[in-house]
Amino acid sequence: MDRIEKLKEFLKADPNDSFSKHALALEYSKQGDDVTARRLLEEVLAHDPGAVGSYYQLGKILERTGATALALSWYEKGMGAARAAGEQRAYNELRSAYDELAD
């Protein structure tokens, strides 16, 4: 069973498992399916706004697909979530991605 199928099995057991859904999004992104990856990451963040790592990944997908303003918006939301969670490293990564894109 490949990774995508295994992650889908995990999600059948728990459709709101943010970790598995995030991992599945990354697998789709690796395969070049940014549409599915974006949808999954948006689902993660709608259900679990504290999933700080998903903001960064979603922002990167949006950058790749030319949605710069939307990427900046998600990076900003992620910085707020990282700050609220006390995750300084994640905040710094999101800030760096934001600053690089905003220049």
**Total structural domains in the chain?**
1
How much is the pLDDT for 96?
A: 98
Asked if 28 contacts 5 with a C-beta cutoff of 8 angstroms, the reply is no
- Other C-beta atoms within 10 Å of 66: how many? 8
How much is the pLDDT for 103?
A: 87
How much is the pLDDT for 100?
A: 97
The predicted model scores a pTM of: 0.93
How much is the pLDDT for 1?
A: 65
CA pair distance 12, 9, nearest whole angstrom:
5
Q: Please report, for the domain that includes residue 35, its CATH number.
A: 1.25.40.10
Distances in Å between the Cα of 62 and the Cα atoms of 8, 17, 74 are 23, 23, 9
Domain that holds residue 45: 3-102
Residue 54 main-chain phi, psi, to 5 deg: -70, -30
Mean pLDDT, consecutive 10-residue segments, the chain of 103 residues?
Answer: 92 95 97 97 97 97 97 98 97 98 93
- State the virtual CA torsion across 80, 86, 90, 91 in degrees, nearest 10: 40
